[in-house]
Every structure is written in C-alpha cells, then in structure tokens.
C-alpha cells in the first residue's frame, strides 16, 4: 500500500497511487511535492508535515490546519483531497501527509506580471469570497500574504495555510510575532486586538503590491513597520490613540507626526493598467478608491469584507454561489485556546488522521480511541487567463 521515495533529501512514505514526486516548496511545517494521482488521473500537491508534534507550537498548528481543511468547502480555499500516515501505531506515529489540488503558481509570481484591471479585480474578488467564507464561521486568517495565495493559469485563486487562523470572539490575545510583518495590520502591530477586517488590511497590502510591483510597507521590525505605515498614510487621530494600551500610546504619540499623502500621489494613474473597455467600473480611479478604503489605519473606519465585495471595482464578478456560499460547519472555538502536552497533541492528531482515513478510504488501520464529535464532510473543490 505504501512505498518510500527520497525527494530533496526528505523521505516520503506514501500511498502507491501517488507517483512521480517532485519538490515544489518547503517551509517550517515541512516540504511540498507535486505528484500524479494514478487513481483520479490528476496532478496533486502532497504536503508532508514532518514530525508535527516536535513541540507544542508545531503540534497545535498542525492539528488546527488539518481541522480547518476538513471544515471548509469553498472554491477559493484550498481543500483536502486526501490525508494519511504510513505509521500504524501511536508509538510509531511521526508523519502526516496532506494531499491537495495542485495549483500553478503563488501570488508572488503573479504580482510580477503586468495585470490588467480584469485580472486584478477578479483575483481580488476571489480573495474576498474566500475570506468571507472563513469569516462566516468566525475564522480569521490573519496571515494572508502573496505566498499563502495560489493561482492557476485560468486565473482561479485559492487561499491556503490555516495554521495561524484564529477565531473571532471575546479573546483577542495578541501574538504579533506569528504574522508576516509586511502585511500585518496596525492593530496587530500595536497590540490592540483585532476583528475580522484585520484580513482586509492584508488584502489592501496585496492589492497595493500588485499596482506598485513592490511591497508597500517593508518594515525591518515592529517599530520600522509602524513608521513605514504612518509615513505614507499619516499619523492616526487622537481617538485612535486613546484605544491604545498606555505604554504603546506613549511611544506612538512621541513619534514624529506625519500628515501622510493623498492616494492619488501614493498610487498615481501611471502605475495602473489602462482603464477597461469591457467594464466601465474597472478603472484606475475605482481601484484607487477601493485601496483607500482597505488601507485605513483605524480598523473601525476600514471597509468590511461585505462592503468590499459590493464595491464597484469588485462586484462586476458577483456570483451568489461564490459570495454567499454556505458557511463552513461549526468550528470548535476552543481549539485556539486549548493547551495540551506534546503527547496529547500527538494523540489528537493521530486520531484525526485515523478517523479521516476511515471515512475517506473505508479502512481502519488501528483501534481508535473514543472518537470526538463527528466532523463535517471533507472539503470539495471545484475568469480570465493569467
């Protein structure tokens, strides 16, 4: 049933249906390969979570990612095609393999292209649809960045990597170090806590990068990041300052004061593609208007995902089946606050994988522990060319 192959100096022990493995990426969580699925006849991506329980941080992230991938069911969010472990006992358990649809590129590569308004607005529309789907379950991504967004040559887009997702709710504990700095919203940098439109700031940063071709706020640390933001957008109002923790407010108020620049100067017409001849609202002026409503330092004045989806620059693509797709099945809002030992996380992950294998593949590979409440069905998958 399994065979072992070495890819980029990493051993993959995988089901025989997956052949012709080639490395396509790696990160803190493990390595990703492309492969051919001989049963379905499609190319797939296989992510190996290598020893996901080496510490509590890795284990919690792996558990959360797997749970969320099982919950979501939207065409703009990466879905799970399969998951398995080659180890047959809890004592031996070391590796988890997640099988996903193979995409052509991440957004880092697309940003370097000369995108017209149709492609840019369609990519943004899909991002917003995926975000709305997550928000409908109270799930905040908070780590949106170009490398976490993948596209196909037909311009279809999917959001991936849910390891840092955190539920909305009463507990807005701040963990700023886990979010990629360049796309980090001001409220996260300043420890104010956040609501779901924290993700709209990230979309604004990505959109601005599509237009400029460079990162908008390339800070080297927290302080530099904040300075980069206010130098361009201006020092926020006294009302905003009053919502800061006293020690943070003291620092922020003692920074040099900046007036910021008008968006017409930050993003002049010359940076934009030619106005669309197909859609009257796909223009530099409309794009800049949307950008100015997402890149708002004060989160209370920033646009919401629903408002963004109704913006003239975006709503040309409106499709109720995408915008108003059924919400994910309920997500256990206590997962993010749950504390376990490494061994407890290991057992939880192992049982999740066994349960998935049993449901998906029709076999049980080890006697399961008492099961948690049944999960929802696995995610299903389902514009202009890039």
Return the active site residues. Answer: 143
Neighbours of 46 (CB within 10 A): 27
CA distance 340 to 337: 10
At residue 45, φ and ψ (nearest 5 deg) are -110, 135
Residue 114 structure tokens: 């000369």
Neighbours of 5 (CB within 10 A): 15
Helix residue ranges, H only, 34-156? 56-71, 107-111, 117-135
Radius of gyration of the chain measured on its C-alpha atoms:
22
Distances from the Cα of 180 to the Cαs of 10, 64, 90, 146, 357, in angstroms?
A: 26, 19, 34, 10, 33
Distances from the Cα of 28 to the Cαs of 106, 145, 154, 174, 199, in angstroms?
A: 17, 16, 30, 21, 22
């Amino acid at each position: 049933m399994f065979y072992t192959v070495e890819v980029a100096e990493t051993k993959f022990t995988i089901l025989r249906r997956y052949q012709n493995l080639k490395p396509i990426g790696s990160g803190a969580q493990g390595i990703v390969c492309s492969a051919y699925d001989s049963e379905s006849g499609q190319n797939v991506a296989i992510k190996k979570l290598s020893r996901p329980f080496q510490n509590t941080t890795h284990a919690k992230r792996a558990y959360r990612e797997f749970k969320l991938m099982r919950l979501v069911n939207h065409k703009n969010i990466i879905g799970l095609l399969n998951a398995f472990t080659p180890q047959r006992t809890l004592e031996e358990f070391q590796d988890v393999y997640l099988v996903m649809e193979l995409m052509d590129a991440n957004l880092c590569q697309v940003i370097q292209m000369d995108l017209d308004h149709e492609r840019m607005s369609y990519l943004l529309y899909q991002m917003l649809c995926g975000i709305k789907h997550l928000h409908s379950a109270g799930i905040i991504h908070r780590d949106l960045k170009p490398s976490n967004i993948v596209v196909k040559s037909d311009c279809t887009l999917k959001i991936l990597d849910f390891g840092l997702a955190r539920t909305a709710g009463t507990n807005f504990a701040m963990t700023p170090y886990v979010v990629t700095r360049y796309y980090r919203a001001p409220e996260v940098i300043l420890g104010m806590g956040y609501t779901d439109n924290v993700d709209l700031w990230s979309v604004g940063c990505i959109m601005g990068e599509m237009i400029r071709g460079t990162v908008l706020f390339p800070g080297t640390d927290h302080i530099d990041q904040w300075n980069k933001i206010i130098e361009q957008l201006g020092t926020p109002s006294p009302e905003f300052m009053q919502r800061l923790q006293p020690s943070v407010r003291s620092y922020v108020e003692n920074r040099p004061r900046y007036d910021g620049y008008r968006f017409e100067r930050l993003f002049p017409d010359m940076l934009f593609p030619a106005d669309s001849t197909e859609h009257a609202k796909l223009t530099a002026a409309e794009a800049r208007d949307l950008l100015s409503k997402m890149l708002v330092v004060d989160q209370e004045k920033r646009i919401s995902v629903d408002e963004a989806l109704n913006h003239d620059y975006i709503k040309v693509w409106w499709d109720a089946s995408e915008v108003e797709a059924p919400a994910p099945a309920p997500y256990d809002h206590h997962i993010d606050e749950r504390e376990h030992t490494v061994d407890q996380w290991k057992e939880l992950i192992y049982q999740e994988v066994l349960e998935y294998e049993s449901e998906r593949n029709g076999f049980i590979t080890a006697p399961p522990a008492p099961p948690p409440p049944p999960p929802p069905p696995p995610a299903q998958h389902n514009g202009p060319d890039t």
